[in-house]
A = this chain, B = another copy of it.
């Protein structure tokens, strides 16, 4: 399925309930975080202060399920294949429709995702080992503090992709052009310098082999805001389920800076 409108239509019909990795190539997918209005301004500020982990693509008006900047017909209550519902920071259920849970005070945030820059890396011929091996990217919690905003504070989470040095340099050049999809890496080389004890035991995702002639390269990860928000234990927080993103009408190419 190549058209984002078709995919969202299938999701609404209950005909698409799986991961969105690889669907609608060329179109931006977004991390979703829905919060009550009383947390919205603080979270917006957190995103503004931490643009690498939290590149804000769109923020809705309270109670409004539409996101016209990302797609004329988007209804955030029914357009994501699977949602996670957290109350006071604890996962209480996974659902496929938010209409019963919707409230007039809910504000939707959509954040850029590494799928956009990974497409550019692959187009440039740079191999992504975790994709080739059909695994999930390795993620680590670092010792790097995010800039805090009100109740939102915590450590930066990163994703890691190994590259030979010349490819790592090209990957930095390419991803620097995608500030709305996490941008350039935050670290390269020794994991211990950012508080990562053992690359073989990621905090989330699968381990990824780093070969003898490769450097681990670390990008700010879109899991960071979810980790930070849940630590703040908001009364309600709704996110996409891992890998089940919002597929938008925005083109990846439109995110690239020349």
A188 within 8 A of B: yes
Chain-B contact segment, one of A96-104, A169-177, A198-206: A169-177
- Interface-central residue, A169, A193, A257, by most chain B CB under 10 Å: A169
Report A124-175 residues with CB < 8 Å from chain B CB. 165-166, 168-170, 172-173
Are B193 and A213 within 8 A (Cβ)?
Answer: yes
Question: A188 is contacted by which of B187, B188, B193, B258 (Cβ under 8 Å)?
Answer: B188
Are A165 and B184 within 8 A (Cβ)?
Answer: no
Can you tell how many copies of this chain the complex includes?
A: 2
Report A177-192 residues with CB < 8 Å from chain B CB. 184-190
List the B side residues contacting A258 at CB < 8 Å: 257-258
Are B169 and A184 within 8 A (Cβ)?
Answer: yes
Residue of B nearest to A144 (CB): B166
Are A215 and B189 within 8 A (Cβ)?
Answer: yes
Are B169 and A185 within 8 A (Cβ)?
Answer: yes
Measured as residues with beta carbon below 8 angstroms from the partner, the interface class of chain A is: 20 to 34
List the B side residues contacting A166 at CB < 8 Å: 186-187
A172–B187 Cα distance when bound, in Å, is 12
Are A169 and B189 within 8 A (Cβ)?
Answer: no
Contacts A176-B176, A258-B258 given; indicate if A169 touches B193 (C-beta within 8 A): no
Are A189 and B172 within 8 A (Cβ)?
Answer: no
List the B side residues contacting A190 at CB < 8 Å: 165, 213
Pairs across A and B, CB under 8 Å, 27 listed: A165-B187, A165-B188, A165-B189, A165-B190, A166-B186, A168-B188, A169-B172, A169-B184, A169-B185, A169-B187, A169-B188, A170-B184, A172-B172, A172-B173, A172-B176, A173-B173, A173-B176, A173-B184, A176-B176, A188-B188, A188-B189, A188-B215, A189-B189, A190-B213, A193-B213, A257-B258, A258-B258
